[in-house]
Amino acid sequence: MSLIELFCIAVGLAMDAFAVSVAEGMALRHVTRRHTLRVALHFGSFQGLMPILGWLAGHSLRGFIGAWDHWVAFGLLALLGGKMVADSVLGFETGLPREPSRGLRLIGLSIATSIDALAVGISLAMLEVMVWGPAVVIGLVTGTLCAIGIHLGDRVGRRLERFAELLGGLILCLIGLRILVGHLVAKP
Q: How far apart are CA 146 and CA 17, in angstroms?
A: 6
Q: What percent of the chain has pLDDT over 70?
A: 74
Q: Are 146 and 39 in contact (CB under 8 A)?
A: yes
pTM exceeds 0.85 for this model = no
Looking at per-residue confidence, does 6 or 93 come out higher?
6
- As a whole number of angstroms, the distance between CA 47 and CA 33 comes to 21
How many helices (H) and strands (E) the chain has is answered by 6, 0
Mean pLDDT over each residue of the chain, to the nearest integer: 79
Domain span at 151 = 3-186
Predicted pLDDT at 97 = 47
The reported pLDDT for the residue numbered 112 is 84
How many structural domains compose the chain? 1
